[in-house]
Chain A
């Protein structure tokens, strides 16, 4: 058992300490009750670790990059800075709830058609932000798409393909 003499005698036992608060969430069309030790825990961590929805990604924890974007009552929101307690009773949609590989949302299908991902780490946030725009403006223009995505960062330089996917999903001609 002693893998590193003198350091660790036994495997470290760590439990969730302290009282747990129960919060009623509504995620991807289903009620989900979660227990949290700290009600200020950002929604992102609850989605990824408690609910196993790992599509939304940690990028900055500062609301600066958009990798963690989810929809709350239809609005694109940064889940990395949103305390889970603030989400109770509101409708959360994550990338997993938007569509599946077999039955994708039209914007997800457009991302596949345009091969609009390289590493893909920012992709979920892009899709969620884009889907929120298309919900409000189904025929959004290229300029509107650029504005809507201005707060979502991509490092691979996939911007042009993402914009093409937005154009395609908006029913416009992809040039």
Chain B
């Protein structure tokens, strides 16, 4: 690994106070507005040194002598409600009140590595592991009580923080039984789970603990976190993607008291004790950059997807005799769909605080994957993994990998250079301009119909950027600019799923043309790939229905044999009083629906909506959206509902408004005027119907509900106008052009 040098630093002598501060690195002063977080962090400090083994009960759970339970959770609450839902799961199995359960999230010194928080896996994987730990713990506690009472374990229950004999009599408080000791037990995969029929906590719409703090300004986000002696940093991103520094004129910020420039090769930043001084200095600092023009530009992406450079082709589905079915078809239909690059669009630009001193590093970050990120940042800093601690603090909603890891790397390099803790918050233009983007997608579909209007063959061809196999982490901006070697490649999430029709079509083929790169650095964005794939597949299903002269609901119901799929489709349609029609109403008001069996093996979601198209302006107004959602067992129906509503409205925004604009050099949509999103006056009524299936395992929920939105809208626009929209976003200009 190369060891780049910070240059152009003017280092004054250190005061005694600063020396003491700097050498007393272990004593970190938490200066916090919210006592809740201070207590949480200080309580957390006391447990440093506990096991992080994901196979050990003690990895996940600690019970104090007062019977209070602390959960150590590798998954984090990004606003989706895990902070209540996972304690509900644990409280249920342990037989304790949920108020007596606290949860520590995403701290590499305290929580087991349960994998990144993404793909709606929080409950399905993270929660289920912790539930098993709680069930194992409960059985152990019952064993302890049984031994004390000299009676068989089968005669006891865990209720209300006690292990009680089923036939009445004195109970044993769980805190007494364990005596604040550790369990020393492996997770028992066979530890019995509570019968869902007896659930008292799971399934209840309990309020999230963080909301009172969030609506009164007391909740501490990573943006609000302060460390003693902390400097504020701002990074100057290059004037064009890939540009090199030609010159930095530090005199240009001379008049800004206390601001200093730091340069490590092409990584240029300013630091100052005062945040506004850092912002002002970053604006004033004169840097001359090389002029790079290597990008394809937003108007060139579609052609670029067709042209490659390709890495490989992959056949995802091949069944039946497509050739024969197409040859013998009564009708053939073909269409092409395009989804543009989009940004995560976090309301709060990414932020992190790093304290890198004395061969150790602590990073406070909104990372979705603190354990994974620890390895990445350790490599960047050339430190052993064990010398680095990454602590999760709430960020602004990220919906996939926004700039949070980049901001942490910025802060880490600056802290190391400055020898003091550094907080970096990106500016708006940094987040819009430099967060990794959702990759573009192009799909070409072809279908065949029999003369009695059945779908006999289906072919999907996709052009997609190929995620690099076993890439340890998305390459980060700061190390790249600083000349620190990191593994190159791209990350996208699993973007080729759900390119197949979710219907019984005998002859099917799904083929991907994998492209080696992406037009701008990509990353996972909400429901990676599946939003665009469902847009294409479910719009095209409607195109086939129209060609066959059949009602869109009827043709779908006919193609589904799974009763859970049928149930959500019927319920969604009923919520908007579905009107069967074989041809578009063409009245300016239309209804549409779409369906997904997420990843072909997770949640079932159907969305039906009603929309209005103003022919004179091309404006689309969605009147109401209905969603029927089956994710198996529901842990917290209100938190689930919030996730479903949020996914629907965010995807409506992505469908109506969003496309990253960029020229040959840089992203040009760098604020909310050039990258508009959904606003309140456009917000339709959202109806959510949850199918609760307590006997089924809990499945990933939330992002599945995003995926049917674009097709349901395109299908409603078709019903309203007879016009088919195949390119996102559905801007007024695009709608007008389609109707012309």
Contacts and interface: CB of A to CB of B under 8 A. Distances in A.
Interface of A: 1, 3-4, 6-18, 37-38, 41-42, 45, 48-49, 52-62, 64-65, 67, 94-96, 98-101, 104, 108, 111-112, 115-124, 127, 145-147, 149-161, 163
Contact of B257 (A17, A41, A119): A17
B2 interface: no
B211 A115 contact: yes
A12 B231 contact: yes
Contacts of B5: 6-7
A57 B346 CA distance: 13
Contact of A59 (B348, B645, B683): B348
Interface string B271-284: 11111110110000
B224 interface: yes
Interface string B17-51: 01101110000000101000000000000000000
Interface in B208-236: 208, 210-221, 223-224, 229, 231
A156 B18 contact: no
A11 B419 contact: yes
A8 B275 contact: no
A117 B14 CA distance: 45
B538 to A, nearest CB: 20
A121 B348 contact: yes
Nearest to A44: B276
B13 interface: yes
B15 A119 contact: no
Contacts of B294: none
B211 A117 contact: yes
B309 interface: no
A112 B207 contact: yes
B358 interface: yes
Contact of B397 (A94, A101, A121): A121
Nearest to A62: B671
Question: 10 smallest A-B Cβ distances: which pairs?
Answer: A17-B257, A55-B217, A120-B214, A157-B649, A119-B79, A119-B397, A95-B217, A157-B646, A118-B79, A54-B224
Nearest to B210: A120
B348 A160 contact: no
Most chain A CB within 10 A, of B345, B419, B647, B653, is at B419
Among B23, B642, B686: residue with most chain A CB under 10 A: B642
Given A14-B273, A45-B279, 7 more contacts: A3-B416, A4-B417, A8-B417, A54-B221, A58-B348, A100-B216, A156-B646
Interface residues of B, number: 96
A112 B212 contact: yes
Contacts of A94: 217
9 contacts: A14-B272, A15-B257, A45-B279, A57-B348, A59-B428, A119-B79, A120-B79, A146-B683, A158-B642
Nearest to A103: B216
A21 B416 CA distance: 33
B15 A13 contact: yes
A76 B266 CA distance: 41
Contact of B13 (A13, A65, A120, A161): A13
A12 B9 contact: yes
Nearest to B650: A157
B394 A119 contact: yes
A56 B646 contact: no
Contacts of B221: 54, 57, 120-121
B33 A54 contact: yes
Interface stretch (B181-189, B328-336, B672-680): B672-680
Contact of A14 (B260, B647, B672): B260
Contacts of A12: 9, 11, 231, 260, 271, 417-420
Given A12-B418, A149-B680, A157-B646, A124 B215 contact: yes
Contacts of B346: 121, 155
A112 B417 contact: no
Interface in B647-694: 647-650, 653, 671-673, 677-681, 683, 685-686
Contacts of A121: 221, 223, 346-348, 395-397
B196 interface: no
Contacts of B648: 157
A10 B419 contact: yes
Contacts of A37: 257-258, 274, 277
Nearest to A60: B428
B505 interface: no
Contact of A160 (B15, B356, B686): B686
A95 B280 CA distance: 26
A67 B80 CA distance: 20
A111 B215 contact: yes
A117 B79 contact: yes
B541 to A, nearest CB: 25
B79 A16 contact: no
B150 interface: no
Contacts of A4: 6, 416-417
B425 A58 contact: yes
A59 B33 CA distance: 19
Contact of A56 (B217, B219, B276): B217
A115 B358 contact: no
A155 B23 contact: no
A119 B19 CA distance: 38
A96 B220 CA distance: 13
The listed residue with most B CB atoms (<10 A of its CB), out of A9, A52, A100, A154, is A154
A110 to B, nearest CB: 9
A7 B425 contact: no
Contacts of B528: none
Contacts of B726: none
Nearest to A84: B276
A6 B648 CA distance: 52
Contacts of B256: 17
A74 to B, nearest CB: 18
Given A41-B276, A49-B274, A58-B425, A104 B216 contact: yes
A53 B396 CA distance: 18
A108 B216 contact: yes
A64 B669 CA distance: 14
Among B257, B349, B647, max chain A CB count under 10 A is at B257
A154 B347 contact: yes
Nearest to B78: A119
A16 B277 contact: yes
Contacts of A161: 642, 645
Contacts of A108: 212, 215-216
Nearest to A59: B347
B513 interface: no
A77 B334 CA distance: 52
B214 A123 contact: yes
Contacts of A42: 276
A49 B279 CA distance: 13
Contacts of B650: 155-157
